[in-house]
């Protein structure tokens, strides 16, 4: 608001000056633009890179790392790339994206033998990873249900707020994380679902909630589904970690299966950034389960109409990799094996971190470290404790205490446990 007022002032002042002076060197269309606030997560990594200490650890990173702290390209991805290189034209994909990739994505999320797929009830388009899928859906919600609100869990991935805000959808929040127990605020969540106006849209993380790592249990998911059904709300799932959370893609899609069994229509954002390590290739999909085929055709055509003025059609290379990996039985088997390795390493780090803390004699409860799921752990550290971790131990994380388990490895987990114990023990 301040920016726009400033712009207005600039323009009013400028318009009173003779035309010839409009081109003076001091005049600039963009002079009144203020620098945007620094991205906090990026700031953590930048500070980490600037640190000279040989002991420094970056647990702010939002991507998987191996036990040597290195980025990983899956072997199934390398092989898929070798197969597609030189054998494909680089033609435009349809506005809705790669048909093959969409088919494989739907099977992964809804099941190979899904009735919804057979009945052609799902409208699906390729999207620019999970972010692009959320943005397409937010724009779709704004256009076709302009009087509804999106309910977003507290807390959630920071970009969710930006996405729905930029799409022009009013946002509300619902309780999710319970700081006292470092788990789920189930009763608060259920109350908020009950109290939301009928027909609201609810953003749900399908598994491995970001940033807390806290997921509902299967029984809790059933009750959530039932309550959402009772209120006629629309559930939109952000599933960025299928397979990567537990090592089992079917288990990670369990919440979605529960909702489908309850007869919900759902929206679903899928990302292949983490589970296939395709981060920078921007491979994802958005699907919307509809009442019937005719409706799915209409919905898909409108989704394409939203995508076209945004980027025309989606990028090819990542889609080729996904469809090749998931479409070939041997490569898919290899992928399942590799994604389990990643998930197991993270689960192992959770266990080891907790064990080290308890061995150090820490009297605080640390079971949330192993109860939480996925890449991120909401440690419970206060901002002051985080600052001490950084200043005294050169361990970098965001000030909300979120630790990326991917940044831990057998070489540094002991050191991190020592530091956590040091800053949390009472004097």
Partner 1 sequence: MRPPVILKTTTSLLDSSSSSPPCDRRLNTLARHFLPQMASHDSISASPTSASDSVFNHLVRAPEDPILGVTVAYNKDPSPVKLNLGVGAYRTEEGKPLVLNVVRRVEQQLINDVSRNKEYIPIVGLADFNKLSAKLIFGADSPAIQDNRVTTVQCLSGTGSLRVGGEFLAKHYHQRTIYLPTPTWGNHPKVFNLAGLSVKTYRYYAPATRGLDFQGLLEDLGSAPSGSIVLLHACAHNPTGVDPTLEQWEQIRQLIRSKALLPFFDSAYQGFASGSLDADAQPVRLFVADGGELLVAQSYAKNLGLYGERVGALSIVCKSADVASRVESQLKLVIRPMYSSPPIHGASIVAAILKDRNLFNDWTIELKAMADRIISMRQELFDALCSRGTPGDWSHIIKQIGMFTFTGLNAEQVSFMTKEFHIYMTSDGRISMAGLSSKTVPLLADAIHAAVTRVV
Nearer to partner 1, 72 or 336 (CB): 72
- Annotated catalytic residue 274: yes
Binding flag, residue 129, partner 1 (CB under 8 A): yes
Tell me how far apart the alpha carbons of residues 253 and 330 are, in angstroms, rounded to a whole number.
22
Q: Smallest distance from the beta carbon of 422 to partner 1, in angstroms?
A: 32
Whether the Cβ atoms of residue 55 and residue 391 lie closer than 8 Å to each other: no
Question: Residue from 41, 43, 51, 81 that binds partner 1 (CB under 8 A)?
Answer: 81
Q: Smallest distance from the beta carbon of 370 to partner 1, in angstroms?
A: 28
Q: Smallest distance from the beta carbon of 214 to partner 1, in angstroms?
A: 23
Burial 359-388 (b: 16+ CB within 10 A, else e): eeebeeebebbebbbbbbbbbbbeeebbeb
Of 185, 192, 238, 252, the active-site residue reads 238
Binding flag, residue 49, partner 1 (CB under 8 A): no
Q: What angle do CA 229, 231, 234 make, to 5 degrees?
A: 65
Is-cis flag, bond preceding 144, omega within 30? Answer: no
Binding flag, residue 194, partner 1 (CB under 8 A): no
Using CB under 8 A, which residues numbered 348 to 387 contact partner 1? none
Nearer to partner 1, 293 or 330 (CB): 293
Instruction: Note the Cα 252 to chain centre separation in Å.
Output: 14
Give the binding-site size for partner 1 (rule: CB under 8 A). 90
Question: Which range, of 17-25, 112-120, 217-225, 348-356, touches partner 1 by CB under 8 A?
Answer: 17-25
Q: What angle do CA 16, 20, 21 make, to 5 degrees?
A: 60
Give kind and range of the element (H or E) at residue 146: none
Contacting residues for 194 by C-beta, under 8 A, at least 6 apart:
227, 231
Question: Residue from 44, 57, 59, 128 that binds partner 1 (CB under 8 A)?
Answer: 128
Using CB under 8 A, which residues numbered 222 to 281 contact partner 1? 229-232, 234, 265, 273, 277-281
Binding flag, residue 195, partner 1 (CB under 8 A): no
Question: Which range, of 126-134, 173-181, 335-343, 368-376, touches partner 1 by CB under 8 A?
Answer: 126-134
Nearer to partner 1, 10 or 362 (CB): 10
- Annotated catalytic residue 120: no
256 token code pair: 């979605």
Whether the Cβ atoms of residue 219 and residue 186 lie closer than 8 Å to each other: no
Catalytic residue numbers, as ranges:
157, 238, 274
């Amino acid at each position: 608001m301040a920016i726009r007022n400033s712009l207005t002032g600039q323009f009013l002042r400028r318009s009173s000056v003779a035309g010839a002076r409009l081109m003076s060197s001091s005049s600039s269309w963009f002079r009144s633009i203020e620098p945007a606030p620094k991205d906090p997560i990026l700031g953590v990594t930048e500070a980490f890179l600037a640190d000279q200490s040989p002991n420094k650890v970056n647990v702010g990173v939002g991507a998987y790392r191996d036990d040597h702290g290195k980025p990983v390209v899956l072997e199934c991805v390398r092989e898929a790339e070798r197969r597609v290189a030189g054998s494909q034209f680089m033609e435009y994909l349809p506005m809705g994206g790669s048909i093959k990739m969409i088919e494989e994505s739907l099977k992964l999320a809804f099941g190979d033998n899904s009735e919804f797929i057979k009945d052609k009830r799902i409208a699906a388009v390729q999207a620019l990873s999970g972010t692009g899928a959320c943005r397409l859906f937010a724009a779709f919600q704004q256009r076709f249900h302009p009087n509804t609100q999106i309910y977003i869990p507290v807390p959630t991935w920071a970009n969710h707020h930006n996405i729905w805000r930029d799409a022009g959808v009013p946002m509300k929040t619902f309780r999710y994380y319970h700081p006292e127990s470092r788990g789920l605020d189930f009763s608060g969540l259920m109350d908020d679902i009950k109290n939301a106006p009928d027909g609201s849209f609810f953003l749900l993380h399908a598994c491995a909630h970001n940033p807390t790592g806290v997921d509902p249990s299967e029984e809790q998911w059933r009750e959530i589904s039932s309550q959402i059904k009772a209120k006629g709300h629309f559930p939109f799932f952000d599933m960025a970690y299928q397979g990567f959370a537990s090592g089992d893609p079917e288990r990670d899609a369990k919440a979605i299966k529960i909702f489908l069994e309850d007869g919900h229509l759902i929206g679903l954002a899928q990302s292949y950034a983490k589970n296939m390590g395709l981060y920078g290739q921007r491979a994802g999909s958005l699907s919307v389960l509809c009442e019937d085929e005719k409706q799915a055709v209409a919905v898909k055509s409108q989704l394409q109409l939203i995508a076209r003025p945004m980027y025309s059609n989606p990028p090819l290379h990542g889609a080729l990799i996904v469809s090749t990996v998931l479409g070939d039985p041997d490569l898919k088997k290899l992928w399942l094996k590799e994604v389990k390795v990643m998930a197991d390493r993270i689960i192992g780090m959770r266990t080891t971190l907790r064990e080290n803390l308890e061995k150090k004699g820490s009297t605080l409860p640390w079971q949330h470290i192993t109860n939480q799921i996925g890449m991120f752990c909401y440690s419970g550290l206060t901002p002051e404790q985080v600052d001490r971790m950084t200043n005294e131990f050169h361990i970098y994380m965001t000030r909300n205490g979120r630790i990326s388990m991917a940044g831990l490895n057998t070489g540094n987990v002991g050191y991190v446990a020592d530091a956590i114990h040091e800053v949390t023990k009472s004097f």
